[in-house]
Amino acid sequence: MDAQVIVVGGGPAGASTAWHLARAGVDVLVLERACFPRDKPCAEYLSPQASRILANMDALELCEHSGAAHLAGMIVRAPNGARIQGDYAASHGFTGFRDRGLALPRPVLDEILLDRARAAGARVQEGVRVSDVVRDARGAVCGVRAQRAGESAGDVIASVVVGADGLRSVVSRRLGLGRTARAPRRIAFVCHYRGVGDITSYGEMHVERDGYVGLADVGGGVTNVAMVLPAAAARGAQGNPAQLFDRWLGSRRHLAPRFAQAERISPVRAVGPFAWHARRATTAGAALVGDAADFFDPFTGEGIFAALRGGELLAPAVLESLAARAPRAARRALALYDHARRHAFAGKWRVERLVGLATTYPMLMNCAARTLARRKELADLLVGVAGDFVPPREVLSLRYLAQLLLS
Ligand SMILES: Cc1cc2nc3c(=O)[nH]c(=O)nc-3n(C[C@H](O)[C@H](O)[C@H](O)COP(=O)(O)OP(=O)(O)OC[C@H]3O[C@@H](n4cnc5c(N)ncnc54)[C@H](O)[C@@H]3O)c2cc1C
């Protein structure tokens, strides 16, 4: 089953990469350890700009017909109770592909995306775990070691290997590219509820001194509840995440009444710590995309967009690498993707880190929230950046930051 390109992992990053390459006529093999539909702990919100890539992959209508919810913007409640509302449709002059975000369960979204990759011509093998990369005599990656449950491991050979295998990617670790960030060390707990009170068409983030929780309608009367706690506080879960979850929610006076009539309809799943990044996303014969390359914190909710966009950015570099006549030219072609990633994501990475600081230091969050609650135009800009259609420089300028913290 050798191929021109092996994509390890069939989540949004792997499906997008495989779709873009297969459409360009490349023989792509996706190796996915799970059997779809599979779940993935996530707040399940997609930014308005993710819809552009979904539409390109002919997946947008499928997502909408599956019953996805539409989100008009975000509401953030700061530890001091200040309430910020930002809308995607705003008067700042920037417009997204859509003026709303989407929210739908990951088993549904990810299956749609992987099916689109299949329809484009990618071969997809589910239930196959990759345990290592294979290198040629020059040390360049030339394949992977893979194993189907109950069978012995074998080597699969390809010109390029793409690690799209998510957080703590095996490919990234075997290549020595990935690093767990020292801070913030946070654990997330995610589950679905039915019957949560006062759910609107806005995603909600409730920031507290000891963590934050996001609520979002994901269609069909179901609410996604994603709680993120410092790793030290999460240790209290001690094998019973549901108990910690209930205790945390129950002790918030503004949230507890909204859950009084609600029914939890899925187990509470824990994931983390998740802050992680790769020094580079390419090496000879291999590249990383999606969470395998980097993931900071779910607060700004752009991981799925970054995964889809990553596939879009990586495909041209892989094509050029495949067309190269010499190994050095192939390596250089692949490295173009490192530049493309920095160009596309560097601003957003800075915004993510600033928001990460604010969620770590409640005084900072309270100070910014007081301004944002009064100045809706500033809140709209920030929500537009999180929605991936307002350039990050708009909120990284000294003028914006001074208005935020000093006005
Ligand atoms: C708590 C939380 C909330 C989040 N909320 C949001 C949100 O609301 N919106 C948003 O945009 N992003 C959110 N994210 C981030 C988002 O979930 C990820 O960024 C996104 O899933 C990345 O996609 P991916 O394809 O890179 O990785 P994944 O979706 O993790 O897919 C990786 C795939 O690789 C497979 N795999 C792993 N190892 C192997 C192996 N060895 N061999 C073969 N296959 C393998 C896995 O089974 C999986 O299918 C959240 C993350 C967390 C932790």
- Determine the distance separating the centroid of ligand 1 and the alpha carbon of 291, expressed in angstroms: 6
Please name the residue whose Cα sits nearest to atom 21 of ligand 1. 304
Torsion of CA 278, 323, 54, 94, to 10 degrees: 70
- Say which range, 106-115, 179-188, 307-316, 331-340, has the weakest mean pLDDT: 179-188
Helices (H) and strands (E) counted in the chain, each on its own, are 13, 23
pLDDT at 384: 97
- Cα 219 from Cα 197, distance rounded (Å): 15
Residue 392, classified by CB atoms within 10 Å of its CB into exposed (0-12), middle (13-18) or buried (19+), is: buried
Predicted confidence at residue 369, as pLDDT, reads 94
Q: How far is the CA of 195 from the centre of ligand 1 (A)?
A: 27
The answer to whether the CB of 161 is under 6 A from ligand 1 is no
Report which of residues 278 and 393 the model is more confident about: 393
Q: Whose CA is nearest to atom 3 of ligand 1?
A: 42
Q: What are the pLDDT digits (tens) for 117-136?
A: 999 999 999 999 999 999 99
Residue 183 has pLDDT above 70, yes or no: no
Averaged pLDDT of the chain: 94
Span 359-382, average pLDDT: 93
Ligand 1 geometric centre to CA of 223 (Å) = 19
Nearest residue (CA) to ligand 1, atom 29: 11
- Residue 182, pLDDT > 70, answer no
The closest-lying atom of ligand 1 relative to the alpha carbon of residue 190 is 1
Do the beta carbons of residue 72 and residue 362 sit within 8 Å? no
pTM of the model: 0.96
Asked if residue 212 has its Cβ within 6 Å of ligand 1, the reply is no
| Res. 1: pLDDT tops 90 | no
Ligand 1, atom 27: nearest CA belongs to which residue?
Answer: 166
Q: Whose CA is nearest to atom 35 of ligand 1?
A: 9
**184-198, 289-303, 306-320: which range is least confident on average?**
289-303
Rounded to whole angstroms, how far apart are CA atoms 333 and 321? 5
CA-to-CA dists, residue 181 to 41, 185, 234, 260, angstroms:
20, 8, 18, 38
Q: Residue 351, SS3?
A: helix
Distance from Cα 164 to the centre of ligand 1, integer Å? 9
Residues 6+ apart with CB under 8 A from 342: none
Q: What's the pLDDT at 360?
A: 87
Ligand 1 atom having least distance to the Cα of 13: 25
**DSSP H/E element including 250:** helix 241-250
pLDDT surpassing 90 at residue 238: no
165, 217, 218: residue to mutate for ligand 1 pocket, most atoms within 8 A of CB: 165
